[in-house]
Amino acid sequence: MGEESQLSSRHRHAARWRFIGCAVGTVATIYALILVGGIVRASGAGMGCPDWPTCFGQWVPPMSAAELPVDYQTIYADRGYADTTFNVRKTWTEYLNRLLGVFTGFAILATVLFAWPIRKLDPLVFRLAASGLVLVAIQGWLGSRVVASNLDPGMITVHMLVAQLIVGIMIIALWKALRPILSREGSLPGYTNALLIAAMIAGLLQLVVGTQVRESVDLVARASDHTDRHLWIAALPWIYDVHKWFALPLVLINGWVIWLTLGRSNSALPRGLAIALGALMLGTLAVGTSMERLNLPIYAQPLHLWFGSLIFGLQLALLLIIRRPAVDPEASAGAARDFEQVAGAPQ
């Protein structure tokens, strides 16, 4: 009976770690997709494929305009896409972005499958993973609406926010699976949670405002026929100043959280997350400064969005770790003992 119990515990342990490994890979894939999406936006490749889910009516896009109908521009103008000109670089940039989106969908599907064996131990983990899969399907539909709307700013903003929601759900599922082996962090003051929540809300607002700044940059670029780049910043509307100066309270709140965590936490994980958060805040400030001083270099725009998304994920992870657990302490302690017993058992 004891051997059967140990074997069952070992299987549960292995199933949990398989899910954790898959979830980590899925989160990394989502962040890679966010970065690539930023590159598509910054390079002007968002309409590199003027239809969806095909690209110029083909499942594998062409390599040259010679592979398209002679009147393809007229065809797409009749569909509401004026001035559609085939550009192999933009077309394949957008196409590779779509392929990565499909891969991300399969990664989350795999996460759901790995969550199935532990659904009785951690039902919330399975429900969160399944919710992520549903949201990915919705995100794919939103992507089609972005193309159909000819890159409507509102649709782009919703598309970006859903991406943050998906990665947030996956981080929560990952934390829930890891919680039995994470030590409780009780040395930070109670208001640290409120500070982190305020920082997360403010960060999401900053991301939304940033998408409006991005749209303004596109308008200025088109008005100048993509010339005189050094004059673009001065031509931006008031929303740019809001985005720039709103960074100051963000830095102060996040700096306060980092200072509290490094000064009062004795656990390696929250301290490591705080250091990473500080590094990303500095990186975001550096990239933002380079955008103003170096006349909006193309590399800075996707990095700025990517760093902002990573900051949100780190804030969420830190909040989950330092907040008081909502589970029964005895159940949590039992799960921890199970992990320790199986990990220490001879193979």
The shares of helix, strand and coil residues in the chain, as percent rounded to the nearest 5, are 75, 0, 20
**Top-ranked range on mean pLDDT: pick from 184-188, 195-199, 288-292:** 195-199
pLDDT for residue 26: 95
Do residues 241 and 108 both lie within one domain?
no
| Whether residue 105 sits in one domain with residue 49 | yes
- Domain hosting 288: range is 185-324
Q: How far from each other are the two terminal CA atoms of the chain, in whole angstroms?
A: 18
The residue ranking higher by pLDDT, 1 or 79, is 79
Sign of torsion over alpha carbons 137, 142, 147, 148:
positive
Provide the 10 A C-beta neighbour count for residue 99.
12
Backbone Cα Rg of the chain: 23
Question: Which of 115-119, 254-258, 325-329 has the least mean pLDDT?
Answer: 325-329
Contact between 302 and 329 under an 8 Å Cβ cutoff? The reply is no
Query: pLDDT digit string (tens) for 43-94?
Result: 777 778 888 888 888 899 889 888 888 888 888 887 777 677 888 898 999 8
- Based on the fold, state whether residues 190 and 314 are members of the same structural domain: yes
The whole-number average pLDDT for the span 151-162 is: 81
Report whether 291 contacts 301 (CB < 8 A). yes
Cβ neighbours of residue 236 closer than 8 Å, sequence gap 6 or more: 213, 216, 217, 220
Residues 170 and 197 in one domain: no
Is 179 in the same domain as 192? no
- 309 & 234 share domain: yes
Give the mean model confidence (pLDDT) for residues 35-43.
85
Give yes or no: residues 222 and 134 share one domain.
no
Q: Is the peptide bond before 153 cis (omega within 30 degrees of 0)?
A: no
**What's the number of domains the chain is made of?**
2
For residue 2, pLDDT over 80 is answered with: no
Instruction: Name the β-bridge partners of 58.
Output: 55
- Residue 129 pLDDT exceeds 50: yes
Query: Mean pLDDT of all residues in the chain?
Result: 83
Query: Domain check: are 101 and 53 in the same one?
Result: yes
Are 200 and 82 members of one domain? no
Q: How far apart are CA 305 and CA 293, in angstroms?
A: 18
| 301 & 334 share domain | no
Q: Which of 95, 90, 125 is nearest to 111 (CA)?
A: 125
Q: How far apart are CA 48 and CA 55, in angstroms?
A: 8
- What's the mean pLDDT in 196-204? 91
pTM of the model: 0.83
Strands of 11-164 (E only): list them: none
CA nearest neighbour of 131 among 106, 154, 103, 108: 108
Structural tokens at position 234: 């001065």
In a shared domain, residues 289 and 330:
no
Residues 321, 182: contact at Cβ < 8 Å? yes
Query: In the predicted model, is pLDDT for residue 331 greater than 70?
Result: no
pLDDT of residue 325: 47
Looking at the fold, whether 207 and 222 belong to one and the same domain comes out as yes
Q: Please state the length of the chain.
A: 347
Tens digit of each residue's pLDDT (9 = 90 or more) over 270-305: 899 999 999 999 999 999 888 888 887 878 888 988
Residue 143 binned pLDDT confidence (cut-offs 50, 70, 90):
confident
- Residues 112 and 136: their CA atoms lie apart, in Å, by 12
